[in-house]
Amino acid sequence: MFWRNLHLIVGTLGLFLFMAQGQYMARVLGVPDLPDVERVLYRSVHIYLLGACVANVCVGYYLDPARAAGILERLCSVLLLVSPALLGLSFFTESSGESIDRPLASMGLYILFAAAALLATIAMVARFRRS
């Protein structure tokens, strides 16, 4: 139950952060009026955060509290929980520069991909073991 609640809390708080970021971009930063590169940097990591938060909400919703999670499932949970934090941090620290190199955003996306790939692998192995 702990992991399920944690995913739901992180995902939901992240969705509120996503909405606040949108208002911040429109009303404070004036992102629609920024040069193309800077506008794309803000908007891309903004959308990446949405994906990471939706993934956490979905995992939290479908996680079965009656089933004991193994080490790999816990690793996936940790990876999924870390990803929105890295992407949120990237939004505030890496988007305002002229450089398109964003190590925090890249790491957040790689971690999100790794968690999804690992969960898919675990599910496929479990499915083939039953048949």
Lowest mean pLDDT among 10-19, 20-29, 33-42, 100-109: 33-42
Per the structure, the count of domains in the chain is 1
pTM score, whole prediction: 0.91
66 pLDDT above the threshold of 80: no
Confidence of residue 1 (pLDDT cuts 50, 70, 90): confident
Structure tokens at 116: 């999804």
pLDDT tens-digit map of 30-40: 999 998 888 98
Alpha-carbon separation of residue 98 from 23, 48, 78, 79, 102 (angstroms) = 22, 19, 32, 29, 11
Distance CA 101, CA 112 (A): 18
Looking at per-residue pLDDT, the higher value among 65 and 36 belongs to 36
Q: Residue 114 has which token pair?
A: 């790794």
**pLDDT digits 0-9 by tens, 67-99:** 767 899 999 999 999 999 999 999 999 988 777
pLDDT in tens, 46-57: 999 999 999 999
Residue 56 domain boundaries: 2-130
